[in-house]
Amino acid sequence: MLDKALITRADDFGSSHSANQAIYEVSKKGIVKNVSVMACAPYLEEAAEMLASSKDVTFGMHSVINAEWDRVVWGPVAPKEKVKSLIDHRGVFYQDVLELAAAKPDLDEIITEYKYQLERLRKVGFPIAYIDSHMMPEGDIPGLAEKFDRWVEEEGLINHRYYNRMLPDSDKFSHDRTLFEKEIRKLEGQYKLVLHPAKTSDEMKMTGNHNYSGEFIAWEREDDYEFYNDPTVLSFLQEQGVKLLSYKDAEPAKEPYNFSLWRK
């Protein structure tokens, strides 16, 4: 294993114009080596036009079967009659992963939806190399992890469950550079850093739910954008001898991560 290494990832490409702008910009700055794309989101085609031909990053499918915001919703890419158990009374994805789990969704329907999402990403031009998951439903829906693993293996793609050694408190780095520098200085081995860059806008303020206001989400994701966009962050990582990795260059763990532990 490398002495100091980070799998750096930007999530939710395609989810909004604000996220697309931010991720496009940070992808050119050298920190971000992986970009996860949402096939079910409304700005997918714009995302593809902006970045799909880039050789600077590795692209992954951000598989989605829930839509967590109150006013911003997503539905399936597959025909609804093929994934009925994934759809709530509104005709879109359930808002919460735990709510979906309680509805006991059909595992085959989940994989069907994932197949349609992957097909759509490839159709618009993204060379997908890895699969990760939005809100990690593998940890809440019994049997899904095993189904997910088999499907990803069949597709010949990289499975994120083998690359989930997260840096402690990494969700605070954008707001606390001192904490970031402290963790990087003592870094040993390979870890993962995932942020959600987006530019502050009325569009981002439309997100939010009972846990977080849209204004908070907009502020938090603007901070993620500024962190990945800051040349001093890249300089510090280079000074500390941290190798930045795409999933293609990273080393998998011997066993997949159990995402039920992530909830605890």
Task: List domains and CATH numbers for the chain.
Answer: 4-245 (3.20.20.370)
SS3 call for 252: coil
Cα separation, 10 vs 29, in Å, equals 12
**Nearest CA among 109, 148, 122 for reference residue 257:** 148
Cα separation, 226 vs 10, in Å, equals 12
SS3 call for 166: strand
Cα separation, 208 vs 224, in Å, equals 17
What's the token pair of residue 36? 């996860």
Name the residue type at position 152: V
Cα separation, 172 vs 127, in Å, equals 31
Instruction: Please report the pLDDT score of residue 259 as a whole number.
Output: 77
Cα separation, 181 vs 242, in Å, equals 12
Name the residue type at position 139: G
Instruction: Please report the pLDDT score of residue 29 as a whole number.
Output: 95
Instruction: Please report the pLDDT score of residue 193 as a whole number.
Output: 97
**Nearest CA among 254, 197, 187, 249 for reference residue 227:** 197
Instruction: Please report the pLDDT score of residue 263 as a whole number.
Output: 57
Name the residue type at position 48: A
Instruction: Please report the pLDDT score of residue 257 as a whole number.
Output: 86
Cα separation, 214 vs 9, in Å, equals 23
Cα separation, 11 vs 63, in Å, equals 11
> Which residues in the chain land under pLDDT 50?
none
**Nearest CA among 208, 209, 232 for reference residue 219:** 208
Measured over the CA atoms of residue 197, residue 200, residue 201 and residue 207, the dihedral's sign is: positive
pTM value is 0.96
